[in-house]
Structure 1
C-alpha cells in the first residue's frame, strides 16, 4: 500500500486538515486512469481525503479528536471505475448516451470550439444562435466560417454553451475557499456511520454536485435533492448519480412550494448548491443569506469557472472547462484535434472534494461556508498535482461493478470507492419534499 502521497497532502491542506493526518491515507491496486496529465493522482487524492474526512468526523462524534481518525485504505481500481461511472452504467441492459450529436469539438476558422448540447434547451440555443438546422453537418459548416471566440460569444448570448479551445492554461484558481461564520451547528453524537442523522439539502445538477451528495449519502446522511419542475433532468444522468438520496420538485416561484423549502432549511444541517454565482441569490438562497438566517449551517457552493473574474457567472460543464482551461489542447491527438482527460475528472474529483469539505466542516462544528469550482480543480491538476499520469497495469473494472433495482429498472453501476451506494435511485422528482424521521 502506497503512503506519503503528495497530491493527498495538498488537497488535505487546502481543506484545512491537520497535516499529519494525510499520512494515514494509503492506496493499493492497479489503476486504469492515465494520460498526459496526472489524473490518476488527482482522482485517488480526492477520494482519499474524502475518506479521511469521514474518519475524522467519526472520531470526533465518538468523543475523540481529529487526531484519533482511523487509517484509510483506498483501492485505485475502485477509484478508476467510479470516475467513469457513466460509461459502466446500464439501464435495463441499455448503455446511456453520454454526449448528444451536437456536443463535441468543431473546427472554427481560427481554431476549435467545444459545444455542449446534451440538454434540449441548450441544443435549441445553439442552433438558434447559429441560425441553422439542428444537424451536425449544419453546425459544422456554420462554425467553420466563424472565429472560435466569435462563435463562443454568439452562442453564449443566446443561452447556449460553446467555448473556444484555449492553447494555454487558464488563470490560477483556489482549490477550496473556506469562510468561517460565528454560528455553530447541531452537536452530533456517536453514529453508526460518519454522517448518520445529518440532513443534506441538495440543490445541484449534473455530475459534480450529485457525486458530492451521493457520497454524503453513503456516509449515512439523509440527502434530499430539490429541483425545479421547469428544468427537467436527463433520466440517465440521474440513474447514475441518484444513489443514496431522494428527489423532489419545488417551484420557488410558487408561494406554497417556497414555504416547503423554508421548512426544509429549518431542519437542514448542510446545503450543497451547484448553480452558477448569482443564480440562487435572486431567490434569497445565496450562501450569505443562508448563513445569516441559519448560522449553524454548512453551506458548500460549487460552480464551473470560479468565483471571480469575467467568467464567474457563466454556465459550464466539465468538458467546457477542459476546453477553456487549456486541458483539451494538452490532450490533443493526431492533427492537433483537441482531446479530453480519461475521465470527467474535474466533475468527479470536485464532487469528492465537496463531500470532504462538508465532512470536515461538520467535524469542526458547522457554521461554515465553502466554495469549490471545476476551474479550481483544473488549476490544481495542471499546476500542482505531482505525478506522471501513468496507470498501473492489471486494472479491470469488473470487480467494482454491481447490480441493483431502481425506479428506472435494473441497473448495472459502478460501486463507490468508499462503500457501496446502497439502494438504487428512485425516479427523479418523485419523492416527498420532507426529511426522514431521525
Structure 2
C-alpha cells in the first residue's frame, strides 16, 4: 500500500487534480497522455523542512508540463516517448537559484568582479551590498503585537526612510544590532499605521495575515476561487508551428519566439522553462533599472538578454518591431507599467493579433490589491503561509518566512504550463490567448493540498531556532546545511546538474546549474546556452530563430 506521505504518490495526485480542474480547461487528450506517458520517480520520503507539500505541488505541475510538451512534439511530427519526473530534482528546483555557481563560486561572490569579464553591477541603488540595507526586507513586530513584512525591493532607501532609518548610516554592521534597530523602528507603528504609509508610497509591504484573515479580506474573497493559472481566449486564426530547419535536433518549442520582460524569479522562471523546451527567449530590460544579479546563472540560462529603454521613443520602436515577430510576451512588471509605455495587451494586439500575452503579479488580477507592488515574501506574508509556518514551528501568532521561494518557482511553472497550453490550442484550433499567474494564486492552491502529518513534520522540521526576523540570508545559513546532510548525493548527481560554458564571465567562464526536471525518452529538454548578463546581446531576434 502506498504511503499517504509518499512524495511520488502525492505528485501524481496533484497532477491528476490539475488535469481534472474544470477551471483550467485542459483538453482530454492531454489528460490521457499524462496518465499514460508521465511517471514520477525518486525517493518518496519528504525531506524539505517545511510542512507544506511544495515538492508534490511542483512535481505535479511538471507532469502537466511534460504532457503538453509531448503533445506539442507530436503536433510537429516528433516522437517524444514517455516522460519521467524525479521528485527529488523537483524539490531542488524550488531553490535552484541559491545552488547555481559561477566558476565554482556563489553568484554574489565579490571576487567574481576581478579577472576576465566582470560581473555587471545591476544593484544600482546599493540595496544588497551590506546587511544594513538588506535587512530593510524582513519581518518585524509592530507596536500592536502584529507582524509586518517590510520589503526594500530593488531600492531600499524609500522603505528605510518611512521607518526613520537613515539609508546612509555606516555604524550598524552586525546583524543582531541591525535587527534590533529595525525592530525598534517598526515597533513605533501599529500594523495598520505602517501599512497605510507603505501603500501610500506605492512600496511593497504587507501585514502578516492568517489564512482565514486573508480569505476574509476583500482581496482574499476576490481571488479565493482562482485556479493556479487563468487562461482565457477569444476567437482567432490557427497559427502553424514554425518550420524546423534541417540538420537540427528539434525540441517541442523550437522556433517559438518569446519576449521576456521580467525581473526577479517568478517571471524569469516562465521564460527559462520555455527556453528549456527550445524556444528562443529574448529577455529585455533597461540599463536604467536595478536588477538581481544573483538570479542570472540559473534563470537567464538558455536566454539572450538585451537592453531597451522604453522611456525613449527609439526603444519603444525597437520593442514594437520585436513584438511583431514574437509568439509570446511575458509581462512581469508591476500592473500598469507596460500599459503606460504602450505595451499593454490591447496595444500589442494591434501589432501582433496572435501574440500570447502572459502577466505575472503578486496579489492576483482581481480585487482591491491587484495593483500593489509585491514579492514572494509579501505573498507568503499576506496569504497566511508565513503565519501557518510559524504555527507549525511552535510560535503561534508569529509569521516566519519559509526558506524556499516556492510561490516564485511554482508560479513560474504554472505560467509555463499555461503558455504551452495556449500555444498548443493556437496551433490546434486557433484563438487569441491571455494568461494570468500570481504568487497568491499559487499560495492558495498549494495550501489547498494540505500539510504533512505530525509524524512526518517532526522528522523534517528544521533544527535551527528560526523566528520571524530571520531573513533569507539567515535562513540559508541556518537551514541550508541540513539539506545537504540529509541527501548529499542530490547535489552531486550528474543527471541532476550540468556545467555550461559562460563566456560572459570570462574566457574560461562556466556556470553550474540544475538540469531541466522533465526528461523524455526521445525528445530533448535542455539548456542550450550559458546565460547572458543584462545587455550582452543585440535587441534583435538571433539569426538562428529566423
Shift of 1:70: 4.6
| Residues 358-367 or 207-216, more deviating | 358-367
8 A contact 2:107–2:293 mirrored in 1: no
2:336 to 269, 278, 281: 278
Q: SS at 1:73's partner residue?
A: strand
By how many angstroms is 1:144 displaced? Answer: 1.2
Q: Distance in 2 between matches of 1:3 and 1:196?
A: 32
SS in 2 for 1:224: strand
Answer yes or no: is 1:129 the counterpart of 2:162: yes
Worse-superposed segment, 124-133 or 419-428? 419-428
Aligned pair count reads 431
Q: What is the 5 A alignment of 1:367-386?
A: 367-383=432-448, 385=449
User: Which 10-residue stretch deviates more, 393-402 or 415-424?
Assistant: 393-402
* 1:52–1:69 CA contact under 8 A, matched in 2: no
Q: Which residue of 1 aligns with 2:182?
A: 139
Mapping of residues 119-268 of structure 1, within 5 Å = 119=154, 121=155, 123-134=156-167, 136=178, 137-169=180-212, 170=214, 171=220, 172=224, 173-184=226-237, 186-188=239-241, 191=244, 192-268=250-326
Q: Which moved more, 1:357-366 or 1:18-27?
A: 18-27
Deviation string, structure 1 residues 19-51 (Cα, Å, up to 9, x no partner): 333413321102643522221211111222112
* 1:101 paired residue number: 135
Match of 2:32 in 1: 20
Question: What SS does the corresponding residue of 1:26 show, helix, strand or coil?
Answer: strand
Moved more, 97-106 or 387-396: 387-396
Uncovered stretches (5+) of structure 1, i.e. residues with no partner: none
Residue in structure 2 matched with residue 404 of structure 1 by the alignment: 500
CA distance in 2, matches of 1:189, 1:132: 55
Flag structure 2 segments of 5+ consecutive residues without an equivalent: 1-7, 109-127, 173-177, 215-219, 245-249, 461-485, 519-524
Task: Report the alpha carbon displacement of residue 314 of structure 1 after superposing the two structures with TM.
Answer: 0.7
Which range moved further: 131-140 or 53-62? 131-140
Contact 1:401–1:412 (CA under 8 A) maintained in structure 2:
yes
> For 1:172-214, what per-residue CA distance to the aligned partner results, in whole angstroms no more than 9, with x for missing partners?
1332222212223530157510000000011111101111101
Q: Which string of whole-angstrom CA distances, capped at 9 and with x for unpartnered residues, describes residues 394-418 of structure 1?
A: 5733212333332234323222213
> Contact 2:70/2:80 (CA < 8 Å) preserved in 1?
yes
CA distance in 2, matches of 1:403, 1:71: 26
3-state SS of paired residue (1:11)? helix
Offset, 1:342: 4.8
Does residue 147 of structure 2 align to residue 112 of structure 1? yes
TM-score by length of 2: 0.73
Larger Rg: 2
1:379/1:4 CA distance change after superposition, 3 Å: closer
Q: Quick check: 2:24–2:227 contact (8 Å CA) kept in 1?
A: no
Q: Do the aligned partners of residues 402 and 118 (structure 1) sit closer, same or farther apart at CA in structure 2, a change above 3 Å counting?
A: farther
Change (3 A) 1:4 1:413: closer
- Given that 1:287 and 1:301 are in contact with CA atoms closer than 8 Å, whether structure 2 keeps it comes out as no
1:8 aligned onto 2:72 = no
